[in-house]
Structure 1
């Protein structure tokens, strides 16, 4: 009896091993349940939500930055401060040039006044710019630099007339901008600086018109010559006849 049972038991054991091995090698279909939910769904949700949120935030940030630079009320104040400081730098440099190249003592004196007063205006504007997060400009803008370059090519009476016509035109424009900021600006400190500056520029405009009249530039009224913010220069025909 023992000799006949051993081979039978051994055969059953071998079959069990074979079935077990076959079951282990058979590919199993992934279950859908907690495993899949935790692996796929949260990952997809997180990626999509984060991407959309990040993109939306980036777009909002770009729009806010654009508004700050000029579209928002605060941006308007910043724009005024930056341009006012660039304008003062241009007036200082042109005033120094007038002291070097002008023939008329009145023009030289006016140039000195521009250097002194516009340096004070920039000194007053610097702390305001700092509070608004504005870096003071290192030089005038391109149009103002073009104006300076053309004036440098002139000398004598031609320079006197062109410079004074430029000063009349510039100070008329500057006065309008300062008065507008003083009345409609949003930042109280910027408005105060604009109000004080407009009083100084009003004096400069009157002086410029008087000196322009003395040197035969016609006081800058209705003249088509001289230098404006667009860099145009030249003496008018009527002014040349008056001078001759």
Structure 2
């Protein structure tokens, strides 16, 4: 008795059942299994990097809750935890619809940032954390502006566009608090 065999074909970075690949979907039509919409490489990279950045914001906020001296820095850190946790959840929903996995853990570079900041305390931590938050949010605003204009997928573009005002607000807050803790 012969058993049916399930074949898979590697297309780009996605592995599709042979029946889907044979229909030409996934390779050109951006349509995968069960109606999943496949993202362009740039959109997929944006989703993955935004997920990694969101995880970093939450983790650094948690560290700041323990190590910061300034109540204002601690309030900012809590805001980062709350806002980026919510954004991460929205991003995960978009990514799941598109068949993309968002990171669940920090990569090596981001873990190193957390480890480095975790060694500081008090006002030294406040200055380093707020400097990191300004740099990080400047980078985020630029990436989200680009995605809000250039993303091919409407849901990815919508996520970037909807999240951008909050990132700009975070950047303005970070700059203001950085100015206060710099001189301490």
Smaller-chain TM-score range? 0.7 to 0.9
Give the SS at the match of 2:40.
helix
Residue of structure 2 aligned with 1:130, choices 96, 100, 116? 96
Deviation, 1:161, is 0.2
Which of 163, 170, 175 does residue 209 from structure 1 map onto?
175
Which SS does the other structure have where 2:137 is aligned? helix
User: Quick check: 1:95 aligned with 2:26?
Assistant: no
> How many residues are paired up?
156
Following the alignment from structure 1 to structure 2, what is the Cα–Cα distance between the partners of residues 127 and 116?
A: 17
Higher-helix-fraction structure: 1
- Structure-2 separation of matches of 1:140 and 1:149: 11
Residues 92 and 114 of structure 1 are in contact (CA less than 8 Å); yes or no, is this contact kept in structure 2?
Answer: yes
- State the TM-score, normalizing by the size of structure 2: 0.79
| Alignment-derived partner of residue 139 in structure 2 | 173
Higher strand share goes to which structure?
A: 2
Corresponding position: 1:107 with 2:73: yes
Superposition misfits of 4+ residues, deviation over 4 angstroms: none
Q: Which residue of 2 aligns with 1:159?
A: 125
1:146 to 85, 109, 112: 112
1:119 correspondence with 2:85: yes
The answer (yes or no) to whether the contact 1:107–1:211 under 8 Å persists in 2 is yes
Which runs of 5 or more residues in structure 2 are unaligned? Answer: 1-8, 15-26, 28-37
Give the match for residue 43 of structure 2: 77
| Higher Rg of the two aligned structures | 1
Distance 1:65 1:154 in 2: 40
1:65 counterpart (4, 8, 13): 13
Q: Which one of the candidate residues 197, 206, 223 is aligned to 2:163? A: 197
**Residue pair 1:78, 1:132 contacting (<8 A) in 2 also:** no
Q: Distance in 2 between matches of 1:89 and 1:116?
A: 12
Runs (5+) with no aligned partner, structure 1: 1-57, 217-241
Q: With structure 1 as the length reference, what TM-score do the two structures score? A: 0.60
Query: How much has 1:127 moved relative to structure 2?
Result: 1.3
Residue 73 of structure 1 deviates from its aligned partner by: 6.8
Please give the root-mean-square deviation of Cα atoms over the aligned residues, in Å: 2.1
